[in-house]
Amino acid sequence: MVESRQQTWRRARIASGRCPQCGKGRLDHYSWACDACALNHRRRRQRRLGVGPWRPGGRGRPPLAVRGDESQAIASTDAE
Ligand SMILES: [Zn+2]
């Protein structure tokens, strides 16, 4: 499969340690986007799939903000 021009640009942006959407620096090499873009992506995906924010007793693991990890709190905080 031939990689498109946009995919090549995006891959190079991620490899250089920058967010492919806004160009800001990412936190670490494990994340594919900055915190704001990852949060927006998460909200869009939740809205598209009809999934709400995490609730105690619900499915899945608790967000990092609920678990008390302050360094990742901005990425997983739901303001709704
Ligand atoms: Zn970004």
From the CA of 18, how far away is ligand 1's center (Å)? 8
DSSP 8-state code for residue 70: G
Q: Would you state the pLDDT for residue 47?
A: 92
Look at residue 23 and give its three-state secondary structure: coil
Q: One digit per residue, pLDDT tens: the chain, 80 residues?
A: 899 999 999 999 988 889 999 988 876 777 888 888 988 998 899 899 998 778 888 888 887 777 665 555 554 454 44
CB 19 within 8 A of CB 33: yes
The rounded Å distance from CA 57 to ligand 1 centre is: 31
Q: Residue 79: its pLDDT value, please?
A: 43
Identity of the residue numbered 38: A
Distance 68 CA to ligand 1 centre (A): 24
Q: What single string gives the DSSP state of each residue in 27-54? A: SSTT-SS-HHHHHHHHHHHHHHHT----
Distance 7 CA to ligand 1 centre (A): 16
User: Could you tell me the residue ranges of all domains in the chain?
Assistant: 5-76
| Phi then psi dihedrals of residue 56, to 5 deg | -60, 130
- In this prediction, residue 32 carries a pLDDT of 85
CA of 66 to the centre of ligand 1 (A): 23
pLDDT at 78: 47
